[in-house]
A = this chain, B = another copy of it.
Amino acid sequence: MIKNDIALEIEKYSDFNRAKSLLIVDAILSNLKKSLDNDEKIEIRGFASFRVVPKKSGFGRDIRKKKQIRIKKGKRIKFRSGQDLKNI
C-alpha cells in the first residue's frame, strides 16, 4: 500500500481529483511530522500511537571496515500498535 492508495480512499468520499486528494494526504502527513518535530505524541485510539523518545544507542557498525562506529545521540520515533492492530 502506498500514498496513492490513501488518496483513492479520499476520492471515495468526495468529488476531489487525484491531485487534490494527494494534496490533502501530504498536508496530513506534514502535520503528523510537525507534531513529532515538536516532541508531541500522536495517539489514534484503536490504531496506534507514536512518541518521540531519546536515542541512547552509542554504537553502530561500519559493514565495510567491520568496525564499531560511534553514533551521535538524538531522538527516535517509538511506534506502538493499538488494540485493533495487536492481533492480526
Interface residues of A (CB under 8 A from B): 1-3, 5-6, 9-10, 12-14, 16, 20, 23-24, 27-29, 31-33, 35-37, 40-48, 52, 74-77, 79, 81, 84-85, 87-88
Contact = CB atoms under 8 A, between A and B. Distances in A.
B28 A6 contact: yes
A7 to B, nearest CB: 10
Give the oligomeric copy count: 2
Nearest to A2: B43
B24 A9 contact: yes
A42 to B, nearest CB: 4
A5 B44 CA distance: 10
9 contacts: A1-B35, A1-B41, A5-B31, A5-B35, A10-B24, A13-B23, A36-B88, A48-B79, A75-B88
